[in-house]
Chain A
Amino acid sequence: MHELSIAKSIVDSVLASVAERPSAAIASVHLRIGELTDIAADALEFGFSVLSRGTRLEHTTLRIESVPIVTRCNACRQTFTVEDYLFVCPACNSGDLHMLHGDELEIDHVILNEPDHPDTNHPRK
């Protein structure tokens, strides 16, 4: 259940990133998570919902983009997507592969909702 630790890092990082935009509401946080990371999306969403309570992220949606595993064969240089975790080059059968994608665990972006009149000093919901 390391998703709770991961969720804590996400909440902390996003709050730090939006600190300079105090009037904006944070509609959604967009993550890119590689297929090889062993992160359970539902556990991460649960952790995020618990840890964001009482913060600016309380009503924020977590959006997770799953990134497929892509490797390049060191023998024949072919680039391909790994299916069913079979790390074998479909062209030359080599198992000597360099991973290009699939390890990602990144906060890509957030969507902010800035009030229409940011100059006026109205309270944040």
Chain B
Amino acid sequence: MEERLNIQQKVLSENDRLAAEVRSRLHELRVLTLNLVSSPGSGKTSLLERTMRDIGNTVRIAVVAGDVQTENDARRITRAGGTVVRPIITNGKCHLDARMVLDVVANIDLHEADLLFIENVGNLVCPSSYDLGEDMKVVLISTTEGDDKPLKYPGMFRRSSAMVINKTDLLGLSDFDLQAVTRNALSINGRLHIMSLSCRTGDGLDNWYAWLRDRVDAKKRGEPVIDEHAG
């Protein structure tokens, strides 16, 4: 006899539960948490190194650096002056999940931190499904990539709240069109906050730091860090 058994359960409900735990811990500590996502090679680690060097003395920054293999990224950020930097090696997994982040967050002292970066594995597909308990996703794209990337990976750009365009010093050396990437990104997500910069020359970094400080301050005051309607 055939019978229907209703389940109606989210596949990632366990991940979502753990992400909620991460979120509640970090919210209690008023630590702004950004999940940094991009393709491999867009410059996530470079951006974190540079940010740590430039504003690390006034904004207390912690970093959880995800990597498929090696602790190289975490080492680079530590060398740039990071004191609370922890690696997560996924051993081949293409994304971080909330359990990995919770394991780390539960074991570091974040009382002295203002800002936590979670550097995700370089991949624009898989990490988009996994909530890590962040306040928002920040997607990074560089001028050596195609300016149609937002159209190719709509899920990630839709779920992100900000987009950073890196390597502006190389504009003009490839066919990357700043206006086209902006138009493409906004067609996926009209509320995306877009910043462009170069970690190498420092161009545009002031804008990025001002944006970070605003968000850190809002978090400290217990105010929303992204627009209500985003997402």
Chains A and B bind each other? yes
Mark A residues whose CB is within 8 Å of B.
Answer: 1-2, 5-6, 9-10, 13-14, 17-18, 21, 24, 27, 31, 36-39, 74, 85-88, 94-99, 105-114, 116
State which of B1, B14, B93, B188 has its C-beta within 8 Å of the C-beta of A113: B1
Which stretch from B18-26, B52-60, B75-83, B121-129 is at the chain A interface?
B121-129
Q: Which residue of A lies closest to B186 (CB)?
A: A95
Q: Are A36 and B158 in contact (CB under 8 A)?
A: yes
Q: Are B158 and A17 in contact (CB under 8 A)?
A: no
Number of chain B residues close to chain A: CB under 8 A: 38
Most B CB contacts (10 A, CB to CB) among A24, A36, A98 go to A36
* Complex Cα gap A2–B156 (Å): 14
Q: Are A96 and B229 in contact (CB under 8 A)?
A: yes
Mark B residues whose CB is within 8 Å of A.
Answer: 1-15, 93-95, 97, 125-126, 128-130, 151, 153-156, 158, 186-191, 229, 231
State the Cβ distance, B102 to closest chain A Cβ, in Å.
16
Q: Which residue of A lies closest to B189 (CB)?
A: A87
Q: Are A106 and B5 in contact (CB under 8 A)?
A: no
Most A CB contacts (10 A, CB to CB) among B6, B128, B154 go to B154
* Complex Cα gap A106–B16 (Å): 13
Most B CB contacts (10 A, CB to CB) among A87, A94, A116 go to A87
Q: Are A105 and B2 in contact (CB under 8 A)?
A: no
